[in-house]
Amino acid sequence: MARNASAQRTAGQEWLRLWFDERSRGLIYQLLVILGLALVVAFIVSNTIANLQRAGLASGFGFLFDQAFFDINQKLIEYSSTSTFGRALIVGMLNTVLVSAMGIVLATAIGFFAGILRLSPNFLLSRMVGAWVEITRNVPVLLQIIFWWVLLTGLPKVRESLSIGDSIFLSNRGVRLPAPLLEPGFEWVFVAFLCGAVAAILVSHWSKRRQNVSGERFPVFWAGLALIVGLPALVYWFAGAPLAWDVPKATRFNFRGGFNVTPELLALWIALSTYTGAFISEIVRAGILSVGKGQTEAAGSLGLRPGQTMRLIVIPQALRVIIPPLTSQYLNLTKNSSLAIAIGHQELVSIGGTILNQSGQALEVVGIWMVFYLGLSLLTSMYMNWYNRRIALVER
């Protein structure tokens, strides 16, 4: 009896010591929170399953193999109304990735250009860019998407379409462009492009090591341009120009040949790029202003021109301030692409909504939306974090 009482007192003392230890008490709190969240999730899942069973709705992802019975006007892979729901979702994912990638590239170019112009000593130019930034940032992006869509759908009809060199046509159906036709032998041009890109990367690394040792700069830009553009062009010429173009022709009611870029895609791309570019311009301006004025004065004393100073001295130091908020803008642009449903552009959310209405699998479709956008955002964040670490200034 005395031994049991002593053991109970020892166990009680151990629990008291764990409770009064700050680290142990924190772990206990975290375990309790995790347990509570698991119970809440389990209750929600079980309740949802029970409600679905009472409504006669079957859960699961078997519906992805059912026939879609609807068309998609803008697609990067083969698709028809006889394809499955799963393939329709893949088309929507690719459309979302396409407009997001295009938007990120154009928004970055607009943002850096406008951010530098806002710091221009030219009073009129800097104020004009500043006014554009303030207007664009303070108008909801959805309204801008609708504005550009209305503007593009107001272009002339097919018979009165605007022509650029009799090969590019602008109409209320979008932009009709020549379609490339790859002929035998073009694969060697593609191989030459890949080899040139790899060689350009190697030359860039070599030039950095050479500059660190000797201080001499190597014309990396022109060497990379010769490798990436010149080498494939040379192979293209030797291969007998294995590329033809399917040039569109305007008929009475439609176009024949080429490929079409819908006004919905153009409106979404322009609106997302300009809206996000306006925010990026402020980020770039803040990053440039974070670099001490002495840096530019020292560059000027060495004889560097303003363009060289901005490109070689200011921007590399400003990137440490620019990259983190720039990542947030890239993520916002990607998620804002879901607003395409307002103008009928068929990306993931729009196509998923059609599938939801036809199949009734609301939870599964919404789950696919969430997983896709989460994965796309995480991949973007991982790349930007890697790039941020790569360009970080290392103190010696």
Is this model's pTM higher than 0.75 or not?
Answer: yes
Q: Establish if 202 belongs to a structural domain.
A: no
Q: Establish if 176 belongs to a structural domain.
A: no
Tell me: do 11 and 129 sit in the same domain: no
Tell me: do 384 and 332 sit in the same domain: yes
Tell me: do 15 and 131 sit in the same domain: no
Q: Establish if 353 belongs to a structural domain.
A: yes
Tell me: do 379 and 272 sit in the same domain: yes
Tell me: do 121 and 50 sit in the same domain: no
Q: Establish if 156 belongs to a structural domain.
A: no
Q: Establish if 344 belongs to a structural domain.
A: yes
Phi and psi at residue 259, to the nearest 5°: -135, 155
Tell me: do 349 and 293 sit in the same domain: yes
Rounded to an integer, what distance in angstroms lies between the CA atom of residue 45 and that of residue 323?
39
Q: Establish if 103 belongs to a structural domain.
A: yes
Tell me: do 267 and 385 sit in the same domain: yes
Tracing tokens 């698991």 back to the chain, one arrives at: 38
Tell me: do 268 and 341 sit in the same domain: yes
Tally of domains within the chain? 2
Neighbours of 89 (CB within 10 A): 20
| Residue 393, both tokens | 């200034």
Please, are residues 334 and 342 in contact by the beta-carbon 8 Å criterion? Answer: no
Tell me: do 296 and 374 sit in the same domain: yes
Tell me: do 385 and 281 sit in the same domain: yes
The CATH number that applies at residue 120 is 1.10.3720.10
Rounded to an integer, what distance in angstroms lies between the CA atom of residue 285 and that of residue 113?
10
Q: Establish if 205 belongs to a structural domain.
A: no
Tell me: do 9 and 145 sit in the same domain: no
Q: Establish if 89 belongs to a structural domain.
A: yes
Task: Per-residue pLDDT tens, the chain, 396 aa: give them.
Answer: 555 555 555 655 666 666 666 777 778 788 889 999 999 988 887 787 777 667 666 667 888 899 988 999 888 889 988 999 999 999 999 999 999 999 999 999 999 999 999 988 889 999 999 999 999 999 999 999 999 999 999 988 888 888 888 888 888 888 898 988 888 888 889 999 999 999 999 988 888 888 777 777 788 888 888 889 889 999 988 888 888 888 888 777 788 888 888 999 999 999 999 999 999 999 999 999 988 888 888 888 878 788 778 888 888 888 888 999 999 999 999 999 999 999 989 999 999 999 998 888 888 899 899 999 999 999 999 999 988 888 776 554
Phi and psi at residue 357, to the nearest 5°: -65, -35
Tell me: do 36 and 97 sit in the same domain: no
Single residue among 16, 35, 55 that ends a domain in this structure: 55
Helix ranges (H only) for the chain are 2-20, 22-55, 85-117, 123-137, 141-153, 186-214, 220-225, 231-238, 263-289, 293-301, 306-308, 315-336, 348-359, 362-391
Rounded to an integer, what distance in angstroms lies between the CA atom of residue 276 and that of residue 189?
35
Q: Which domain holds residue 46?
A: 2-55
For residue 5, count CB atoms less than 10 angstroms from its CB and return exposed for 0-12, middle for 13-18, buried for 19 or more.
Answer: exposed
Single residue among 15, 39, 55 that ends a domain in this structure: 55
